[in-house]
């Protein structure tokens, strides 16, 4: 499902009818990778849905949220979600399982969000030969909070590789906590609020992990003592997570601690929950959301949607975007045509953005923090491919704009890889 667009047209032509599909593999639970699953089921798919344990746990809550914006009747929604629950199966990483016709599959860690996987498929051929394919799914970065690093992929005949940032290098991630701390101290100095539009899955939990360190880790709270004194009555600044979906997913992340990285597990074992701290507040009920809209004094508010296309962040921006003491902090990609993109574009000239049919002047300061991408950059993609024990027979690039694919094709070809366009 494409993001940043208002409506998604239903499929009119199926190359293979959903009824005839035996297996559906989900690499991870981001909505652009699972969003059309209900449509597939509504059109007759009744095969097996294969994914990791964590993806399985995230699947239904995310689809339930997505379906709430759809035209299906309540009864249809209920039936579709039950079908997703019944047809989907969670599997372990690194183990090979067999399917019909002796086809085998293995999931590897992709380091993108919790539960994200790449897929290794082996097809038996004549004369005991095997033809194999690795499908990268969305690949993440090394040293992502909470997540184990991506696994090295096995050798294969065909590699289907994502290429979102095939033409770009990310800024150094090691300084991003420092940037976040400095930006927050500056933003809160004039007693305003900081609004952080964030995606419910992945980005919110990553941010909470970093805020936890800024607020409760000894080293960081010494470095930024202001954060402990900028709230009302010189108390620590309250952090509100104002998104029922993000809160629900954070709870699921909690239950899936077996899939966290070693650092987060160690911190939990040490009785220091890695993304829960004293001044963190959950805003579940709509009534409470309305109350914090005019909360007096400094606060940090994390709310969806990530590109300000809907959700509670819109109400915060309607009340706070035209006040110069406030700040907006973007930590994610803002697609063309979204209010988030307009806010970034028109912030310097104090232009306006249209939210719920209202023109709101942008007087708040607007910042964009880089280093938060959940996707590997060009260097990361090349390093992951190079980690294969042998060069793949061929590489096919997907999930990237043409320019990104062209640049990455050039890099891979120069290193002796065969890229099919």
Burial environment of residue 213 by CB neighbours within 10 A (0 to 12, 13 to 18, 19 or more): buried
Question: Residue 162 or residue 212: which is nearer to Zn ion going by CB?
Answer: 162
Q: Does 138 bind Zn ion (CB under 5 A)?
A: yes
Instruction: Give the whole-angstrom CA distance, residue 353 versus residue 197.
Output: 15
Question: First CA to last CA across the chain, in angstroms?
Answer: 22
Question: Residue 30 or residue 316: which is nearer to Zn ion going by CB?
Answer: 30
Question: Residue 1 or residue 394: which is nearer to Zn ion going by CB?
Answer: 1
Q: Rounded to the nearest whole angstrom, what is the least distance from the CB of residue 35 to Zn ion in the complex?
A: 11
Site for Zn ion in 24-43 (CB under 5 A): 30
Question: Residue 333 or residue 417: which is nearer to Zn ion going by CB?
Answer: 333
Q: Taking CB under 5 A as the rule, which mask of x and - marks residues 398-417 in contact with Zn ion? A: --------------------
Q: Rounded to the nearest whole angstrom, what is the least distance from the CB of residue 28 to Zn ion in the complex?
A: 6
Q: Rounded to the nearest whole angstrom, what is the least distance from the CB of residue 110 to Zn ion in the complex?
A: 9
Question: Residue 163 or residue 298: which is nearer to Zn ion going by CB?
Answer: 163
Q: Does 151 bind Zn ion (CB under 5 A)?
A: no
Question: Residue 253 or residue 417: which is nearer to Zn ion going by CB?
Answer: 253
Q: Rounded to the nearest whole angstrom, what is the least distance from the CB of residue 349 to Zn ion in the complex?
A: 33
User: How many residues line the site for Zn ion (CB under 5 A)?
Assistant: 2
Q: Rounded to the nearest whole angstrom, what is the least distance from the CB of residue 331 to Zn ion in the complex?
A: 15
Q: Rounded to the nearest whole angstrom, what is the least distance from the CB of residue 93 to Zn ion in the complex?
A: 17
Contact region with Zn ion (CB under 5 A), list: 11-19, 130-138, 159-167, 256-264 = 130-138
Question: Residue 138 or residue 210: which is nearer to Zn ion going by CB?
Answer: 138
Contact region with Zn ion (CB under 5 A), list: 13-21, 23-31, 362-370, 391-399 = 23-31
Question: Residue 201 or residue 343: which is nearer to Zn ion going by CB?
Answer: 201
- Other beta carbons within 10 Å of 279: 18
Q: Does 162 bind Zn ion (CB under 5 A)?
A: no
Residue number of the CB closest to Zn ion reads: 30
Q: Rounded to the nearest whole angstrom, what is the least distance from the CB of residue 358 to Zn ion in the complex?
A: 32
Q: Rounded to the nearest whole angstrom, what is the least distance from the CB of residue 4 to Zn ion in the complex?
A: 14
Binding site for Zn ion (CB under 5 A): 30, 138
């Amino acid at each position: 499902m494409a993001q940043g667009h208002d409506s998604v047209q239903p499929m009119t032509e199926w190359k293979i009818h959903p009824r005839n599909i035996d297996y559906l593999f989900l690499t991870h639970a981001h909505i652009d990778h699972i969003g059309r699953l209900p449509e597939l089921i509504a059109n007759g798919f009744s095969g097996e849905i294969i994914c990791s344990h964590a993806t399985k746990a995230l699947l239904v809550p995310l689809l339930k949220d997505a379906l709430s914006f759809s035209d299906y009747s309540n009864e249809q929604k209920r039936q579709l979600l039950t079908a997703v629950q019944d047809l989907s199966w969670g599997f372990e990483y690194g183990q090979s399982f067999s399917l019909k016709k002796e086809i085998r599959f293995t999931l590897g860690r992709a380091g993108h969000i919790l539960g994200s996987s790449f897929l290794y498929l082996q097809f038996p051929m004549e004369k005991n030969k095997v033809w194999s394919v690795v499908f990268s799914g969305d690949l993440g970065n090394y040293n992502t909070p909470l997540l184990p690093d991506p696994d090295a992929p096995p050798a294969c005949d065909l590699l289907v590789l994502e290429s979102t940032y095939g033409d770009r290098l990310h800024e150094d991630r090691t300084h991003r906590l420092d940037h976040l701390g400095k930006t927050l101290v500056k933003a809160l100095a004039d007693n305003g609020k900081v609004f952080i539009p964030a995606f419910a899955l992945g980005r919110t939990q990553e941010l909470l992990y970093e805020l936890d360190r800024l607020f409760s880790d000894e080293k960081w709270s010494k470095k930024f003592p202001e954060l402990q004194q900028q709230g009302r009555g010189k108390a620590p600044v309250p952090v509100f997570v104002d998104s029922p979906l993000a809160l629900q997913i954070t709870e699921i992340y909690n239950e899936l601690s077996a899939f966290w990285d070693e650092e987060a597990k160690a911190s939990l074992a040490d009785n220091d929950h890695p993304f829960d701290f004293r001044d963190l507040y959950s805003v579940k009920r709509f009534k409470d959301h309305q109350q914090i809209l005019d909360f007096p004094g400094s606060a940090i508010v994390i709310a969806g949607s990530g590109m300000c296309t809907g959700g509670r962040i819109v109400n915060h921006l309607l009340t706070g975007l035209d006040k110069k003491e406030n700040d907006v902090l973007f930590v994610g990609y803002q697609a063309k045509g979204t209010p988030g993109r307009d806010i970034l574009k028109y912030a310097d000239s104090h232009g306006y953005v249209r939210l719920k049919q209202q023109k709101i002047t942008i007087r708040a300061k607007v910042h964009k923090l880089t280093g938060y991408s959940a996707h590997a950059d060009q260097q990361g993609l090349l390093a992951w491919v190079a980690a294969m024990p042998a060069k793949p027979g061929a590489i096919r690039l997907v999930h990237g704009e043409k320019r990104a694919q062209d640049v990455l094709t050039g890099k891979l070809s120069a290193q002796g890889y065969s890229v099919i366009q």
